[in-house]
Amino acid sequence: MAFSNTFSREKIAAMEDLNAKLLNKNNSPNNNLIFVYCPPKVGSTTLVSSIRLSAARKFNVVHIHDNSFFFALSKNPIVHQISVMDLIMYNRSIGKNVFVIDIFRSPIERKISEFFEKISWLHFNNTEQNINSYNLDRVITRFNNLFSYLGNSDYYKEMYNIVQIPGVFDFNKKYLQTDLFGIKFIKLRLKDSNFWGEILTEILGTHITIVNDYETSQKPLGDLFAKFKNMYRIPQNFLKDISNDPGLSYYYTGSERDEYLNTWQTKATTNWNAYTLEQFMMYNSLSLENQSQSIIQVEHYIDIGCLCMPCSRKRAILLEKAKRGEKIDEKIIHNAAINEVKTIINKKNQMIQERVNKINGMIQAKNTRLPRPSAIGRKVVKNNMKNIVINQ
């Protein structure tokens, strides 16, 4: 691939800088790179954490939804000209063994999760704690107005530049794989997440254990989210649109699709007049202008992939728990992992010092101990007898 003929030196330099910030933080020597490049709220965080937890020393993992993430990493204005696919192709051109993964999620659930993902910083510009106390009707109204514009993209078909998409999804393997330019493009279904471990073990050639991560139900607005899922009734016109969704027809079998639609039909209600495209664009523009909260999520994953000794130790512990089927409710946070190791070392040092102090105390007590009274008595009697003999 003649990469230098496609991009300017400035653009290549900017991509080298992005690579350094995305990959070199872990100082991983491996040449394998996985881009989990997909829409938000399709199960990708679970996928990323699972691969890192299982194979952090074998694979570098980059999790990205769009190239806006690059702007947070670099102030170089050239970055605005770089797409995620540019960076993917660049890494392949420098000899990386590259995998790119997308995930399909059932459309209504994806829309709900995407809405709640942005509910704080975009839709209501308030804290999650405050939004959690909102009237449910208010939240449902906002969601219905936005319904048609949420969660519609298919990266595998729209973003990966794959010219020939397979005519049908492989329902036996439960994934698609297209090799292009030496890059392996993979499409999974969230519906098959129970099989992801087996699927990824086969594709990546190393054992992968899946662990759930970053569920909305565990966030501060978990109560509101649970109420919404329980009470929401989909307008009939929305459900009709979903029945014509091309992704649902492609990634689900006929029976899976019918079962899915029938389930939601039991929860259907009267039609709803959502925002027009013009109204939505105005809404989105104003919401972004009013945004007061950061959308950069800190400590977003169970595992961020750090390869330092404390993080590797914590990773081994959590991986064993995952293999035993235990729920993982901890995260590998670099500073916390270091402090955990320091605490263990300090406790061990304290125990050792306590033993040393005990031994020293015993030695000191032995050296300063007086003879027993009975022994003193015997010595006095003995000396007295000697004096009597001498005097005689």
pLDDT in tens, 36-79: 999 999 999 899 999 999 998 899 999 999 988 888 788 888 99
Find the DSSP H helices in 208-276.
222-231, 236-243, 246-251, 254-265
Q: What is the pLDDT of residue 379?
A: 54
The reported pLDDT for the residue numbered 89 is 94
Better-scored residue on pLDDT, 30 or 124 = 124
Q: For residue 213, what pLDDT is reported?
A: 64
How many Å separate Cα 113 from the centre of its chain? 16
CA 389 – CA 250 distance, rounded (Å)? 119
The whole-angstrom separation of Cα 24 and Cα 93 is 18
- What percentage of residues in the chain have a pLDDT greater than 90? 54
Question: Is it the case that residue 1 has pLDDT exceeding 50?
Answer: no
User: Is the pLDDT reported for residue 183 higher than 90?
Assistant: yes
Beta-strand runs (E) in the chain: 32-37, 60-64, 97-104, 176-180, 183-189, 234-235, 268-269
The gap from C-alpha 26 to its chain's centroid, in whole angstroms, comes to 16
Q: Which of 65, 210, 75 is nearest to 151 (CA)?
A: 65
- Give the containing element (helix H, strand E) for 87: helix 84-93
Strand order in the sheet with 176-180: 60-64, 32-37, 97-104, 183-189, 176-180
Question: Is the separation of the CB atoms in 105 and 41 below 8 Å?
Answer: yes
Main-chain phi, psi angles of 104, to 5 degrees:
-100, 130
pLDDT, residue 311, reads 72
Tens digits of per-residue pLDDT, 234-262?
999 999 999 999 999 999 999 999 999 99
**Residue 25: its pLDDT value, please?**
55
CA–CA distance, 60 with 87 (Å, rounded to integer): 14
pLDDT of 108-163, one tens digit each? 999 999 999 999 989 999 988 899 999 999 999 999 999 999 999 999 999 998 98
For residue 217, what pLDDT band results from cuts at 50, 70 and 90? low
| pLDDT mean over 88-98 | 94
Q: Where are the domains of the chain?
A: 3-332, 339-391
Under 8 Å between Cβ of 76 and 11: no
Phi, psi angles (nearest 5°) of residue 209? -105, 130
**pLDDT interval class at 391 (50, 70, 90):** very low
Predicted confidence band of residue 392 (pLDDT cuts 50, 70, 90): very low
Average pLDDT over residues 377-385: 53
pTM assigned to the model: 0.79
2 class by beta-carbon count within 10 Å (0-12 exposed, 13-18 middle, 19+ buried): exposed
3-state helix, strand, coil in the chain (%, to 5): 60, 10, 30
CB-based contact 127:40 (threshold 8 Å): no
Q: Mean pLDDT across the stretch 292-318?
A: 67
pLDDT at position 71: 83
Residues 149 and 109 sit within 8 Å (Cβ to Cβ): no
pLDDT of residue 386: 52
Q: How confident is the model over 302-321, as a mean pLDDT?
A: 72
pLDDT at 354: 82
Contacts of 192 (CB under 8 A, 6+ apart): 174, 175, 199
Quick check: 390 pLDDT over 50? Answer: no
Tokens of 330: 């901890």
Report residue 346's pLDDT band, with 50, 70 and 90 as the boundaries: confident
196 three-class SS = helix
Q: For residue 316, which amino acid is it?
A: A
What pairs with residue 287 in β-bridges?
Answer: none
The position carrying tokens 């049908």 is: 168
353 or 195, greater pLDDT: 195
- What number of CA atoms fall less than 13 Å from residue 177's CA on the CB side? 14
DSSP codes joined into one string, 275-334: --HHHHHHHHHHHHHH--S--PPTT-SSB----SHHHHHHHHHHHHHHHTT------B-H
- The reported pLDDT for the residue numbered 123 is 94
Mean pLDDT score of the chain, rounded to an integer? 85
Instruction: State the pLDDT at residue 225.
Output: 92
